[in-house]
Amino acid sequence: MIWAVVKFRIDMLHLVLTDDHEIFLRGLEGLLTEIPDFKVEKTCSSGSELLDSLPLENIDVLLLDLQLPDIEPEKLLKQIRKHQPDLKILYLTLVRGNRYFNKLNKLGIQGYLLKDSPIEILEEAIRTVAEGKTYFTERYGKTKEINTVTLPSDKTLELLSSREVEVLKLVAQELSSAEIAQRLFVSVSTVDSHRKNIMVKLGVDNIVGLVKIAVKNNLI
């Protein structure tokens, strides 16, 4: 009797994860490593850490948080494309709406997915992007959606630090940067930096948008 040993070769998908929320990052890593042909090669907790890691050799898909606090998404994406123009990128975010999708799509992203999507949907998105195709949450893509950003009121403020919430509340009360700086005992440049980060995280580009979000979340 002859026994034959058959070895099955699994083509692995090599991934890099970037997110500034440690619990989410480690949880996502754990979930993805349970999928037999997925291998997480590296995790980054900031945009600067990711840029320092470029170029990412032999990586199939980069999963990237849209709201990294240390760098604007457009700037980060431009830097990535400068080093690796063909790297496949799947953005993960809590932001609903297509303002940032429209901006980032011009720079060439392969996917855009909400963080509260089921793991099965995330797996499908990763496999689709790895094949060179695009994958976008149904709310995006070719649909002609109103160009606004909407967030569930119970999750909006989770995107912000406690100090950013303070600044948002004062901005909504129509205080100037100088007045806010005096109130919080910080510099004007620090306040301006907080304003900029808040707008990036919440996907708005003017004070009116910030006020609407503040009202929706009972900050004023």
> What are the chain's domains?
13-136 (3.40.50.2300), 151-216 (1.10.10.10)
pLDDT digit string, tens, across residues 136-168: 875 444 333 333 344 444 456 777 888 888 999
Q: What is the pTM of this model?
A: 0.61
pLDDT at 138: 55
CB contact at 8 A, 130 and 61: yes
Nearest to 113, CA basis, from 143, 131, 95, 136: 136
Residue of 73 and 88 predicted with greater confidence:
88
Report long-range pairs for 107-110 (Cβ below 8 Å, ≥24 apart): 107/74, 107/77, 107/78, 107/81, 108/81, 109/77, 110/61, 110/134, 110/135
pLDDT digit string, tens, across residues 82-113: 888 889 999 887 766 555 566 666 667 788 88
